[in-house]
């Protein structure tokens, strides 16, 4: 033990036994153990941001100062952390049995270390063929262990490189996954390649690596990367398909602290390479810039939708049986869906959209035609099936994918030749999915898009349903009659008042309630109590029937903090039960999770729900069961594709309906997300009860404030195409 400047300072070697807590800012608390009692307590807690990315089983050289924590006892406040090769038998056994080396669990680790002792790691490194001396290790398993050991060593070396650049070591395994043994070369020669290719690496991270590697601040490659970053960020964060140059140039220039003139040259170079498209603004005078993918999707969508609109119907022209239960606007919608190859059905809650779809579908089937019902998410498809009594699938599953042997790419085809395709919850269609959809539909097939134009637009870029409703030539019917049964619902009444810009009746009734509290911390505590105790007890249901929805991610009432609190109440850590930390998230058996990216290989899609059924450190795998009953596996390196769903954003709740919804409504950080469309979408997610907890002024702000329009050129392109 080396004594530093003060009596309380120390440097010691210790092994990570367990992660206790990881914050969003990478502040980490870990339970540690030492083999040398002269270094301090045999077991203690260490904390600090210097511990970012450490995993159970690793041996660390720590520098820090001791203090006494009221709950954890002796605690080391770590200021410096360096990974070292474990050297004692206990540390080696802990390292190999922790799951850090895929394929070795605690039992096999014990057998290997018992056989080779302190030379275990040297043997694996230099004489790996000797592993077959251990019982239960044959040639195949030996090869797997050697490969996993090599990968672990490479990732550990990358961690050291990243720390030298001042970058979180958590990114090392993701970089290695993409580039393998070329990872170090990419880091040092072209770090801007990391943007978009490695999950979690945006411009700032790549730029820090580049600058520290000697890339000049005015490098054309750097300026071009900044331009692309601004376009990608605008798409991911704000849903924009393009940015006006008057916005793009100063934004990119500020990002790299260079002159706008230099950035404009970078835009011109990207345009010459066709990485971006610069054209006249759809909204008025001036130029705008698209990333090539977004521009290509807009053009393709317009081309295919115009093709479908101009097609001759393949449906037999018969009048549908007059249903006495239909209102006049519903009959108009049915007629339109049967006679127009493309039509839109829109309207608020309680207006009979689902019944209208059921009549359309049954009429087509009575004519001898075939119908395919779809929705963007699994939950939305299941709900559509329940409401119509007909089978439904996700849009992704409808668009079956097959490899193209000539192009080596993927193309879409419909699994059946449907006469009518119905897409419910069409407000959730982003530009990418909508383009894939219309491109796959055969000419002459009818397409009926059903959705509520007042809900939030899609998570992904674009505003497809809103844009279609802005084009007069697109046939549509808006249902306005609210049925009596729906009028009795406080949720429906509140939703329609919000949609029209009026405050709901407070405190509410009939399933809609507002509970006024001012302090965000108290609001968070009350939301957790309602979701885990009060509502389940009063309604006689489990906590899984109550969904917490949040307007924001950060803050005391955001999805991150509330999600942690709910997880600790509903699914706390259990002694002797495996768990795995991935960044600030810990995954346990029984956790409610949700994919946040489409993964076609696994057959799971953004917004679906799932439950963790197994955490397997030895295999470095998490096993899930989806809401459809499918078993799915995620490796530990893929866990940033999942999020816990104890508390989710309103955007991620689209297409779903929950028996009970609880939501905080506070003006933290200026309440930037509090807007009418968000509040309206939130309220309409509840089936029986929705309870809003928070500040009345925040609720009033949300009702009166409209959301910003997304930058898209789709409406103008489509209007020009249909009028030509």
Residues 309-330 have pLDDT tens digits of 999 887 876 655 566 678 899 9
**What one-character DSSP code corresponds to residue 724?**
-
pTM: 0.88
Give, for 392, the enclosing helix (H) or strand (E): strand 392-394
Q: What integer is the mean pLDDT of 355-367?
A: 91
Q: pLDDT by residue (tens digit) across 605-651?
A: 777 889 999 999 988 899 999 887 889 999 998 898 899 999 999 99
pLDDT at residue number 414: 60
Q: What integer is the mean pLDDT of 574-590?
A: 91
DSSP-assigned beta bridge partners for residue 394: 375
Q: Is 538 labelled a binding residue? A: no
Tokens of 568: 């600790």
Tokens of 651: 């955007």
Q: Is pLDDT of 355 > 70?
A: yes
Q: Is pLDDT of 411 > 70?
A: no
Domain pair 10-153 / 311-403+413-456, same fold: no
Cβ-proximal residues to 105 (8 Å cutoff; 6+ apart), any chain:
97, 99, 617, 618
**What one-character DSSP code corresponds to residue 23?**
-
Tokens of 592: 């409610």
DSSP-assigned beta bridge partners for residue 586: 581
Alpha-carbon gap, residue 108 to 88, rounded angstroms: 17
Alpha-carbon gap, residue 514 to 702, rounded angstroms: 14
CATH topology assigned to domain 10-153: OB fold (Dihydrolipoamide Acetyltransferase, E2P) (2.40.50)
Q: What integer is the mean pLDDT of 61-75?
A: 84
pLDDT at residue number 408: 40
Q: What integer is the mean pLDDT of 490-512?
A: 93
Q: pLDDT by residue (tens digit) across 180-222?
A: 889 888 888 889 999 988 888 889 999 999 998 889 999 999 9
Residue 181, phi then psi, degrees to nearest 5? -70, -10
444: left (phi over 0), alpha (psi -120 to 50) or beta: left
Q: What integer is the mean pLDDT of 687-712?
A: 94
Q: Is 262 labelled a binding residue? A: no
Residue 128 DSSP SS3: helix
Q: Is pLDDT of 409 > 60?
A: no
Q: Is pLDDT of 161 > 90?
A: no
pLDDT at residue number 406: 39
Residue 300 DSSP SS3: helix
Residue 163: which pLDDT band, with cuts at 50, 70 and 90?
A: confident
Any idea which of 416-420, 594-598, 656-660 has the lowest mean pLDDT? 416-420
Give, for 289, the enclosing helix (H) or strand (E): strand 287-291
pLDDT at residue number 24: 85
pLDDT at residue number 681: 95
- Coarse DSSP helix, strand, coil percentages of the chain, rounded to the nearest 5 percent: 45, 25, 35
Q: Is pLDDT of 573 > 50?
A: yes
Q: Is 351 labelled a binding residue? A: yes
Question: Would you kindly state where each structural domain of the chain is located, as residue ranges?
Answer: 10-153, 154-213, 220-294, 311-403+413-456, 490-572+584-704
236/71: higher pLDDT: 236
- What is the share, in percent, of the chain residues with pLDDT greater than 90? 63
Tokens of 630: 């499918």
Alpha-carbon gap, residue 221 to 209, rounded angstroms: 14
Question: Average per-residue pLDDT in the chain?
Answer: 89
Domain 311-403+413-456 sits in CATH 3.40.50.300: yes
655/579: higher pLDDT: 579
pLDDT at residue number 345: 97
Residue 383: which pLDDT band, with cuts at 50, 70 and 90?
A: confident
Q: Identify the CATH assignment for 490-572+584-704 out of 3.40.430.10, 3.50.50.60, 3.40.50.300, 3.30.70.640.
A: 3.40.50.300
Q: Is 687 labelled a binding residue? A: no
Q: pLDDT by residue (tens digit) across 281-304?
A: 988 889 999 999 999 999 999 999
CATH topology assigned to domain 220-294: Arc Repressor Mutant, subunit A (1.10.10)
Residue 418: which pLDDT band, with cuts at 50, 70 and 90?
A: confident
DSSP-assigned beta bridge partners for residue 81: 62
Q: Is 354 labelled a binding residue? A: yes
For 252, 267, 516, 660, 686, the CA distances from 691, given in Å and listed in that order, are 42, 49, 11, 8, 9
- Residue corresponding to tokens 């969904």: 547
């Amino acid at each position: 033990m080396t004594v530093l400047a003060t009596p309380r300072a120390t440097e010691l070697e210790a092994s990570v036994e367990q992660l206790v807590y990881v914050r969003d800012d990478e502040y980490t608390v870990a339970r540690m153990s030492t083999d040398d009692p002269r270094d301090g307590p045999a077991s203690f807690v260490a904390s600090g941001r210097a511990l970012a990315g450490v995993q159970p089983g690793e041996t660390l050289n720590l520098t820090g100062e001791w203090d006494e924590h009221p709950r954890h006892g002796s605690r080391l406040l770590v200021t410096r952390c360096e990974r070292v090769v474990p050297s004692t038998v206990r540390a080696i056994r802990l390292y190999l049995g922790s799951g850090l080396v895929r394929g070795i669990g605690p039992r096999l680790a014990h057998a290997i270390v018992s056989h080779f002792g302190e030379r275990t790691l040297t043997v694996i490194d230099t004489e790996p063929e000797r592993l077959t001396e251990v019982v239960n290790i044959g040639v195949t398993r030996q090869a797997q262990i050697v490969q996993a050991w090599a990968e672990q060593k490479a990732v550990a070396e990358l961690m050291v490189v990243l720390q030298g650049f001042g970058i979180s070591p958590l990114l090392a395994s993701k970089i290695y996954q993409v580039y393998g043994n070329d990872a170090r070369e990419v880091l040092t020669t072209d770090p801007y390649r990391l943007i978009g290719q490695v999950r979690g690496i945006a411009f700032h991270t790549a730029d820090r690596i580049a600058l520290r590697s000697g890339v000049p601040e005015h490098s054309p490659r750097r300026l071009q990367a900044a331009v692309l970053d601004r376009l990608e960020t605008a798409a991911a964060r704000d849903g924009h398909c393009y940015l006006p140059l008057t916005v793009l140039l100063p934004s990119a220039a500020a990002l790299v602290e260079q002159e706008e003139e230099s950035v404009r040259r970078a835009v011109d170079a990207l345009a010459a390479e066709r990485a971006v498209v610069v054209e006249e603004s759809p909204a008025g005078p001036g130029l705008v810039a698209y990333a090539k993918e977004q521009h290509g999707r807009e053009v393709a969508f317009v081309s295919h939708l115009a093709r479908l609109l101009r097609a001759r119907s393949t449906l037999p022209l018969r009048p549908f049986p007059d249903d006495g239960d239909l209102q006049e606007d519903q009959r108009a919608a049915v007629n339109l869906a049967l006679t127009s190859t493309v039509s839109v059905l829109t309207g608020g809650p309680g207006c009979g959209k689902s019944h209208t779809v059921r009549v359309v579908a049954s009429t087509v089937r009575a004519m001898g035609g075939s119908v395919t019902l779809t929705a963007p998410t699994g939950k939305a498809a299941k709900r559509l099936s329940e409401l119509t009594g007909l089978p439904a699938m996700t849009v992704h599953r409808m668009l079956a994918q097959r490899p193209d042997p000539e192009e080596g790419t993927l193309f879409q085809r419909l699994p059946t030749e449907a006469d009518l395709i119905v897409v419910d919850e069409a407000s959730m269609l982003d530009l990418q999915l909508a383009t894939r959809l219309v491109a796959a539909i055969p000419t002459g097939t009818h397409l009926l898009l059903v959705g509520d134009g007042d809900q939030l637009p899609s998570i992904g870029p674009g505003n497809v349903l809103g844009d279609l409703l802005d084009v007069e030539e697109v046939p549509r019917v808006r249902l306005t009659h609210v049925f009596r049964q729906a009028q009795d619902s406080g949720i429906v009444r509140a939703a329609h008042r919000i949609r029209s810009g009026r405050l709901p009746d407070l405190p509410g009734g009939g399933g809609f309630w507002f509970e006024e509290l001012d302090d965000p911390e108290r609001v968070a505590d009350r939301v957790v109590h309602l979701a885990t105790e009060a509502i389940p007890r009063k309604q006689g249901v489990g906590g899984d029937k109550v969904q917490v929805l949040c307007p924001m991610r950060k803050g005391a009432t955001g999805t991150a903090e509330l999600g942690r609190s709910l997880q600790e109440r509903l699914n706390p850590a259990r002694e002797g039960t495996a768990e795995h930390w991935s960044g600030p998230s810990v995954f346990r058996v029984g956790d409610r999770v949700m994919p946040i990216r489409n993964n076609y290989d696994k057959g799971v899609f953004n917004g679906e729900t799932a439950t963790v059924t197994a955490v397997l450190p030895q295999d470095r795998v998490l096993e899930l069961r989806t809401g459809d009953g499918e078993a799915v596996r995620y490796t530990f390196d893929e866990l940033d594709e999942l999020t816990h769903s104890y508390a989710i954003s309103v955007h991620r709740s689209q297409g779903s309906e929950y028996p009970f919804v609880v939501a905080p409504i506070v003006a933290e950080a200026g309440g930037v997300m509090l807007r009418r469309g968000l509040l309206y979408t939130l309220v309409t997610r509840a089936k029986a009860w929705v309870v809003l907890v928070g500040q009345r002024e925040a609720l009033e702000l949300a009702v009166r404030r409209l959301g910003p329009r997304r930058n898209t050129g789709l409406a103008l392109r489509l209007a020009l195409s249909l009028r030509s």
